[in-house]
Amino acid sequence: MKNMDRILKMILVTIFILFLFTVLMLFIEANSAAISGSLSLWIILALLLGTAIFSFALFTMKLKINELDRIFQAEKEIEKNENTADVIEKEIEKEIDIEPLLPSESTKIDQYTDEVLQKMAETFNIVQGIFYTKQSKKDNFECAATYAYFSDQKPEPFKSGETLPGQSVKNKTLVVLNNVPDNYMTIVSGLGKSAPKQLVFVPIKQQDEVVGVIEYATFETITERQQKALEAISKKIADAIVKLLKK
């Protein structure tokens, strides 16, 4: 496109030079009486008109070329954005390897759930976590293990539909809470106390029954890859949780 623009400019300059040269020659010939003055004037006007028409045609062509150039640049930008979106989508589609996050076999529910939280902590940026399991006799959920939980009181049990984790149990879906209620959870660290950015509730389901729920807090924003990995982990550990609860 830039080369075409240069060529058009060169053509216009060349035509203008030829026009001046022609006018000069006509005046010389007119003065030598080879051509009458009136005829020279008509020839000059004809050349001038022809030059104007040709220049207008070139100008119109330049406008069209500029328009095509804008369309071409817009298409390149769209293609670039599509390629960027494809890269992002492929990155999202990459699954987190959950096998290293799965705990080893255990004979006690508290050991198993504690190992789940420990292994998940780094991958999911957990700053505080609680693993609740369902107590079949009472039909409620009680704390089986905690991670970085600093409190003299053990987390309170709840039933389906009660409290925030109870809502996740009732809906049987992973819940991400951005607006953390005031004083709901305080994270204690070497830098002092602060509230988490997000709360994540992961129901542990065997078929359609929720047998446990993981509640954890994070200072980061959970990604789509992490959500997919959490759902995969919940399916993997559900059977083990059921077996341990029956013992």
Higher pLDDT, 198 or 87: 198
Higher pLDDT, 218 or 44: 218
The predicted structure's pLDDT at residue 213? 96
Closest to 214 in 3D by CA, of 137, 155, 151, 152:
155
What pTM, to 2 d.p., does this model score? 0.61
Cα–Cα dist 236/247, whole Å? 19
pLDDT digits (tens, 9 = 90+) for 157-182: 999 998 889 999 999 999 998 887 77
Residue 156 tokens read as 């309170």
Look over the chain and give the mean of its residue pLDDT values, rounded to a whole number.
Answer: 77
The predicted structure's pLDDT at residue 26? 59
Q: How far is CA 39 from CA 17, 18, 33, in A?
A: 21, 19, 11
pLDDT digits (tens, 9 = 90+) for 143-159: 999 998 887 788 899 99
Element (H, E) at 217: strand 209-218
Cα–Cα dist 1/246, whole Å? 75
The three-class DSSP label of residue 178 is coil
The predicted structure's pLDDT at residue 89? 44
The predicted structure's pLDDT at residue 88? 46
pLDDT digits (tens, 9 = 90+) for 95-142: 788 888 888 887 789 999 999 999 999 899 999 999 999 987 677 899
Closest to 117 in 3D by CA, of 101, 104, 133:
101
pLDDT digits (tens, 9 = 90+) for 11-62: 666 766 666 666 666 556 555 544 455 555 666 666 666 666 666 666 666 6
Cα–Cα dist 116/209, whole Å? 20
Residue-wise DSSP of 141-177? EEEEEEES---SSPPPPB-TTSHHHHHHHHHTS-EEE
The predicted structure's pLDDT at residue 200? 94
The predicted structure's pLDDT at residue 92? 43
